[in-house]
Structure 1
Amino acid sequence: MHIDHFKENFQTITDQRQGAKVTYCLFEVLFGSLCAVIAGAKGWFDIREYILGHHDWFKNNDLFVSGIPADDT
């Protein structure tokens, strides 16, 4: 399954964050979190570690190009 299929399904989610404070695309955060949780992540620290460990793959798929959020973001 290609990432674009996930993007289509995530488009129905409304981003309630304040625009001026948004650094990371909602889809990136949700998709990265989903991948990490499926891989066994138990919290935000684990999610960040997963994304760090797979950052090349995410970047190749145009995700987290501007960096990875901190675990308390």
Structure 2
Amino acid sequence: MTLMEHLSVVKETRSDTHRQYDLIDVIFLVISAIMAGAEGWQDIETYGNAKIKWLRTYRPFLSGIPCRHTIAR
């Protein structure tokens, strides 16, 4: 089973209100950034902004990269 297949079974529990970023996009961003050495929310946001083109080869990231506060939530 691929990483994306594993992530696709994660249950969405967030409220529909203010849900701008796809949950799987956010989880994929966090996993990728941590594997690349990110150590905090700011590092994850910075990584995402630097690697958006690469990230989009795997996921759409239609709303772009979330800010560090959104990632932390």
TM-score category of the 2 structures, normalised to the smaller one: 0.7 to 0.9
User: What are the ranges of 5 or more consecutive residues in structure 2 without an aligned counterpart?
Assistant: none
**Structure 1 segments of 4+ aligned residues over 4 angstroms from their partners:** none
Name the amino acid aligned to 1:43: G
Mapped to 1, the partners of 2:8 and 2:58 lie a distance apart of 18
Q: TM-score, normalised by structure 1?
A: 0.82
Structure whose residues are more often helix by fraction: 1
Identity over aligned pairs, percent: 32
Q: Which residue of 2 aligns with 1:16?
A: 13
Task: Specify which structure has the bigger relative contact order, considering alpha-carbon pairs within 8 angstroms and separated by 6 or more residues.
Answer: 2
Matched, 1:71 2:65: no
User: What are the ranges of 5 or more consecutive residues in structure 1 without an aligned counterpart?
Assistant: none
